[in-house]
Every structure is written in C-alpha cells, then in structure tokens.
Amino acid sequence: MKKINESLVGACTHPAFRPGDTVVVSVKVKEGSRERLQAFEGVVLAKRNRGINSSFTVRKISYGEGVERVFPLHSPMIESITVKRLGRVRRAKLYYLRSLRGKAARIKERLILKSKQSKKA
C-alpha cells in the first residue's frame, strides 16, 4: 500500500505553489453527458501535505461574496494548476484573510531574484 501511494505521489506534475500564491485551477465538470473545464482562480489559503491525501484551499471573491474550495491535490478531476502570482506571506495558514475586506486583504508580491551568475553574463 505504501509503495502504491509513493508511486501516485511521484507521478504528480503540478507546479510548486505556496500559501499566498494566486493560482488558476482547471477542474473537469460533468454536466449530463458532456464534460467541460471550469477555471477557479484565487489565493491559496492553506496546503495540507499528507501524501496521496494532500489537499489545498483556494479562496476567491465572486460577486462580493467570498468563495472557498478545497481541492485534493492528486485528484483526477484537476486538469491543471497554473501559478499566476507569487505572494509573500509569513504564515502557513492564511485563515485571517476571511475576516479582511477590500484592500486590507491584499498580499504583497514575492519577487524572485536572479542569481549572481546570471548578472555577470
């Protein structure tokens, strides 16, 4: 059982993301006999790392209402995860964002600095 879990986790091709990052999750939605992709874009509030049972929570504001959705990381219903913006936060769980409104809920952007070797070239 442990080997099966490790092989399934190792096959994960999603990009690395952290709490505070803005991601777009493309989810397969079945409507009758048809299947389509639905994009859910928002800020990652939390990640739960439990091997095959890993999940992450994404929050977005839709028509003035906060909407949160928990996605299993290794779900076959997730087509792709794209990181749109890197956020700079000091917490692993950003549940405090639930009580903030408007500009107070903004997250600073994390900038990736280039290495010294690439500056010399």
Q: Sheet harboring 55-62: ordered strands across?
A: 65-72, 55-62, 34-48, 22-31, 78-85
In this structure, what token pair is assigned to residue 71? 């996605």
Query: pLDDT tens, position by position, for the chain (121 residues)?
Result: 777 777 766 667 888 899 999 999 999 999 999 999 999 999 999 999 888 899 999 999 999 899 999 999 999 899 999 999 999 999 999 999 888 888 888 888 888 877 655 655 5
**Which class is 2-90 in CATH?**
mainly beta
- Enumerate the domain spans of the chain: 2-90
Question: Is the distance from CB of 44 to CB of 107 less than 8 angstroms?
Answer: no
> pTM, whole model, 2 decimals?
0.81
Give the sign of the dihedral formed by CA 38, CA 89, CA 45, CA 99. Answer: negative
Q: With CA atoms as reference, report the closest residue to 40 among 29, 54, 51.
A: 29
